[in-house]
Amino acid sequence: MPEKKTAVKKQTKQKKQKKQTLVIVESPAKAKTIEKYLGAGYTVRASMGHLIDLPKSRLAVNVENNFQPEYITVRGRAKLLKELQKEAKKSDEVLLASDNDREGEAIAYHLRSAFEEKIKAPIYRIVFNEITPQAILDAVKNPSDIDESKVNAQKARRVLDRLVGYNLSPLLWKKVKNGLSAGRVQSVALKLICEREKEVENFIPEEYWTLDADFIKGKSKFTAQLVQYNGKKPTLASENDVNDIIKEIQNASCSVLDIKDTDKTVRPKPPFTTSKLQQTAANRLGFTSKKTMQVAQQLYEGINIGSSRVGLITYMRTDSVRISPVAVEEVRKFIGDTFPKELPPEPIEYSAGKKVQDAHEAIRPTYVTYTPEYVKEFLTRDQLRLYSIIWERFVSSQMKNAKNRTTSVDIQAGNALFRLSATKVIEKGFYRVIKTLSKKEEKSVSLPSLSIGETLEPLKFYPEQHFTQGPARYTDASIVKMLEEKGIGRPSTYAPIISVLLERYYVNRSNKQLVPTQLGKMICDILVESFPAVINENFTAEVENNLDKIEDGKLDWTKMMSDFFFDFKERVDELMGSLESYKGMMDEKTDKICELCGKPMVKKLGRFGFFLACSGFPECKNTRSIPLAKCPRPGCDGEIVARKTKGRGKEFYGCTNFPDCNFISHFKPINAPCPNCGQFLVEKYTKKHGSFKSCINPDCNYLHTAESENTDVEGSEEIE
């Protein structure tokens, strides 16, 4: 009997060893990393995102049957689905490990539905916030079921967007142009961008002046700025105002009136959320939101560090600043070992906002000991730059405050008061790990040794002309910040919102600014005027709140659909018959004549904006740019149009009478005359001043800069 029992135990052990588990993740890179962690007995495959979804060719939402979606296998993905089903049949257990968010939950749900009738193995859901051996092993040991409420929230979002898009798009086809489309969230983002553009276009700059002065003490020379005149803040509207002050004080006695030190405590910032990471990467690294998420995905899914493959950061789609107790303990140990004087007595906690879902931790390095210097040789330049700011932000978030001291010196010169200030760091605190801040510290201004009452000698005055700056156009960083503040979208949607607007040519990028196209402005005007209750921030934010309620099990998703859809559909049907067609604007007749066939040219709208095309199309395919302004050259009757160089396709603006007239401008003309001389204005951009309007006339001083607008063709790139 004992021998028989031993044999049974051996058979049981062998059976356990043969157990096969299939793990399905979303991407091949993630699969490669996780398979190394799990080892024998586990097969890890990638679904490559959604395998089952709504079809692209039709609405596929049964409105009469509680808005049930009609899912299909995504075109071109049937082979992959069959391969996964085949792999599942050979397995003793299936673990669905798609991302821990609504989309990931929906992917897991659809895979389970596709497997249930074809395999006998049990199917479980596992989730994790980081791709490390411990996190993966813990997830495998603690499988759970699919969160149906989270699936319903994704379903509600998908169906709502389908109902909006598939009803608005045909309206745009009929009234504007075939091929156009409109989305619920993207349209609100477009509205924000267009509203800002109107502010930019309508802004009228006002002239003002500032006055700096050089003072001498012995061999030391330093510069101070005028901050008061006759006891008040100076209002210097013209050069004459400045010159009057200079005349009055240039021979006045000058002395140090006051020296004041002001200390300021600077607190570390919390670890990154998705939106804050995108904003910081845009401002510090020049990354677009899309690029930030692509690089972050690479860091999350796994990088080969020597002989091992490591997920370097936690999940990058989150709106939480929460950090796990284990991670806090690890970073405090690192700080204590590396910067012992900068370790606070207790961990620092950061409060989350009211709208935070808190499903994930903040974005942080998975191993704080993997410093940027340590992993430098294994990462690409972009990976290292993004990883560095994530690592620095996380470590600094658990360090002591920094302290700055600003010393201000007030200098009395007659009735004028000049001020010189310099700031230095007196307690480094968390600055010790922020390398960019350290570089700024090195460039801080140092003050000469001065005492109150000390006499100084004025050396030279520097009057400088300025113009007030209008509102700045949105950039990737600022539009993401605005979307977050208004509760529009979620961490996973910020980058796609911008990408969709660019792909549809509703928005262009210019000097990293988001500028609406003529097409984008037209679409925005139609949607906002026709659907004010839908294309606005409040409605979009309320949708997000309702999706959160559905995920929490507090709202039925079909009720949300019915409350919205029927009034919306009634409005769409009404506009189909009553809305004025804009198509007449697309083929508007002009007085321009085709130089090839002699027929009239018509104004058309293309993906890049309006252009002129021959009315004899398709027999004559001649096209021309729309004239933007009259040529400013004396005696020339030509017009200024957009053109491109043959080499790099760089856009410039030249005369239609070329080569007889070789006027060109590298700045785009604005449809507005100069208030000083009547010639046209152009839009310029500098890093110092941003976007501003300037006169094309070099002899006119209306915001004119030193560089000349007008150049000859000789010596420039070859022109088309």
Residue 519's closest CA among 168, 165, 176, 174?
Answer: 176
Q: How far apart are the first and last CA of the chain?
A: 96
Do the Cβ atoms of 269 and 393 come closer than 8 Å? yes
**Phi and psi at residue 162, in whole multiples of 5°?**
-65, -45
3-state secondary structure of 597: coil
Contact 63, 565 (CB under 8 A): yes
Six-digit token pair at 621? Answer: 């395919």
User: How buried is residue 79: exposed, middle or buried, by Cβ count under 10 Å (0-12/13-18/19+)?
Assistant: exposed
| Residues counted in the chain | 720
Closest CA to 201 of 683, 606, 696: 683
Tell me the backbone φ, ψ of residue 456, rounded to 5 degrees.
-125, 160
Q: Which residues are bridge partners to 229 per DSSP?
A: 232, 416
Can you list the pairs that 326-334 forms with residues at least 24 positions away whose Cβ atoms lie under 8 Å?
327/361, 327/364, 327/368, 328/398, 330/367, 330/368, 331/368, 331/394, 331/395, 331/398, 332/398, 334/368, 334/369, 334/395
Question: Helix (H, G, I), strand (E, B), or coil: what is residue 69?
Answer: strand
β-strands 93-96, 123-125 pairing? parallel
Instruction: Report the helix count and the strand count for the chain, using DSSP H and E.
Output: 20, 29
Q: How many CA atoms are closer than 13 Å to the CA of 165, on its beta-carbon side?
A: 20
Query: How many CB atoms within 10 Å of residue 201?
Result: 13
Q: Is 300 labeled as catalytic in the residue annotation?
A: no
> Do 590 and 603 contact (CB within 8 A), yes or no?
yes
Task: Give the separation between CA 97 and CA 136, rounded to whole angstroms.
Answer: 10
Say how far apart CA 393 and CA 231 lie, in whole Å. Answer: 44
DSSP letter string, 541-580: HHHHHHHHHHHTTSS-HHHHHHHHHHHHHHHHHHHHHHSP
Bridge partner residues of 655 (DSSP): 640
Backbone phi, psi, residue 638, to 5°:
-75, 175
Q: How far apart are CA 347 and CA 527, in angstroms?
A: 49
Strands 513-516 and 308-310: what pairing?
Answer: unpaired
Alpha-carbon span 442 to 454, nearest angstrom: 29
Give the span between the Cα atoms of 666 and 681, in whole angstroms: 12
Task: Return the structure tokens found at 270.
Answer: 């919390």
CA distance 431 to 111: 48
Given 71, 315, 367, 370, which residue is catalytic?
315
Instruction: Name the percent of the chain in helix, strand, coil, to the closest 5.
Output: 40, 25, 35
**Cα 569 to the center of its chain, rounded Å:** 32
**Catalytically active residues, by annotation:** 315
